[in-house]
Amino acid sequence: MKKLNLTFDNGPTVETTAMVLDELLQRNLLASFCVVGKQLESAAGQDLARRALAEGHRIVNHSLTHGTALGDDPSDAHANAEVDQMHDLMQTSLGDWGARWFRPFGRGGKIGPHLFSAASVARFADLQYSVLLWNSVPRDWVDTQGWVETALKDIQQQNNTVLVLHDLPTGAMLNLPRFLDEVHKLDVQITQELPRDCVPFEHGKAIFDQAHLARLTTG
């Protein structure tokens, strides 16, 4: 049976995350929410992240500023700000948020040497982070309707799709119910079980081989 991981990036947002959580709860589905610092600084953002945790979703550190990719500024200071400072913000605002996961900022979902820096890899090791990549980016932020068909195509072509969506107020998530209805008609299991090829680091240790990691890392 094919598998699908639902991941929602760049939230939580007041306009969209509650609606996404309602939809998942109603259908008894679990997902990953990859949260960013600017959204988690507000009380409303923290409430939404706590609600997601309480309902069994995975909360993922998706960087403090989501500004410059880790590999585009390989300094220690940048890695420290994006990984450690976000980690501290999550600890302060959420308490125990379960397993430590980080998702790098991909510049529109691209995979390449901009994803990591040597300094950030050292931060993952120190903080024992596992890292979550992706294998489907239907660009819901620009194709607010058509992402549904793009995602359905990806799901049928892969054994375990890690789908990147955004719980942002673009209008794209108004199509989430239609998408989940279509997925339900296929022989696909929605899971939090990740494919090996989307997890380059586990508890701070490299899982991908050196050559593979070198293609994803700068500095």
The residues binding Zn ion (CB under 5 A) are: 9-10
Cβ nearer to Zn ion, comparing 166 with 188: 166
Cβ-contact 32, 101 below 8 angstroms: yes
| Residue 109 Cβ vs Zn ion, minimum distance, rounded to whole Å | 8
Q: Kindly state the smallest distance separating residue 211's Cβ from Zn ion, in Å.
A: 26
Burial tier of 13 (Cβ tally within 10 Å: 0-12, 13-18, 19+):
buried
CA dihedral of 8, 13, 18, 19, whole degrees rounded to 10: -70
Question: Residue with the closest Cβ to Zn ion?
Answer: 9
Distance CA 37, CA 39 (A): 5
Considering the complex, state which of residue 97 and residue 134 has its C-beta at the smaller distance from Zn ion: 134
Least distance CB 37 / Zn ion (angstroms): 12
Please say which residue, 10 or 160, places its beta carbon nearer to Zn ion.
10
If you write DSSP's letter for every residue of 29-44 in order, what string do you get?
---EEEE-HHHHTSHH
Closest contact distance (angstroms) between CB of 28 and Zn ion is 26
The Cβ-side half-sphere exposure at 38, using a 13 Å CA radius, reads 6
* 10 versus 135: smaller Cβ distance to Zn ion: 10
